[in-house]
Amino acid sequence: MNQSQLAKWLKFIMSIVAVLATAFFFYMVPAMGRDLRSAYPEFAHLFWPYLIWTWVAAIPCYLALINLWRIYREIARDNSFSRPVSMALRSISRLALFDTLLCFVVSNVYLFSNMLPFQLLIPCFFVEIGGLAISLVAAAVSHWVGKGYVLKEDNALTI
Amino acid sequence: MAINVTLDVMMAKKKMSVTELSEQVGITMANISILKNGKARAIRFDTLEKICKALDCQPGDILEYEKEG
Secondary structure string (H, E, C) spanning A34-48: HHHHHHCHHHHHHHH
Q: Is the pLDDT of residue B69 over 70?
A: no
User: Which chain B residues are Cβ-neighbours of A150 within 8 angstroms?
Assistant: none
Q: What is the pLDDT of residue A87?
A: 96
Across the interface, whether the CB atoms of A159 and B31 are under 8 A apart is answered: yes
Q: Is pLDDT of B1 > 80?
A: no
Residue B3 has pLDDT above 90, yes or no: no
**What pLDDT does A38 receive?**
92
Nearest to B44 among A153, A154, A159 (CB): A159
Q: Which residues of chain A have pLDDT under 70?
A: none
- Answer whether B35 sits within 8 Å of A159, measured CB to CB: yes
Asked if the Cβ–Cβ distance from A157 to B34 is below 8 Å, we say yes
Helix (H) or strand (E) holding A103: helix A83-112
- Say if the Cβ atoms of A159 and B27 lie within 8 Å: yes
pLDDT in tens, B6-64: 998 999 998 999 999 999 989 899 999 988 888 888 999 999 999 999 999 999 999 99
Closest-approach residue (CA) in chain A for B35:
A159
Residue numbers of B between 8 and 67 with CB closer than 8 Å to A: 27, 31, 34-35, 39-44, 47
Q: Is A157 on the interface with B (CB under 8 A)?
A: yes
pLDDT value, residue A55: 95
Q: For residue A97, what pLDDT is reported?
A: 97
- Return d(Cα A147, Cα A89) in angstroms, integer: 13
Inter-chain residue contact B40 with A153, CB threshold 8 Å: no
| pLDDT for the residue A159 | 85
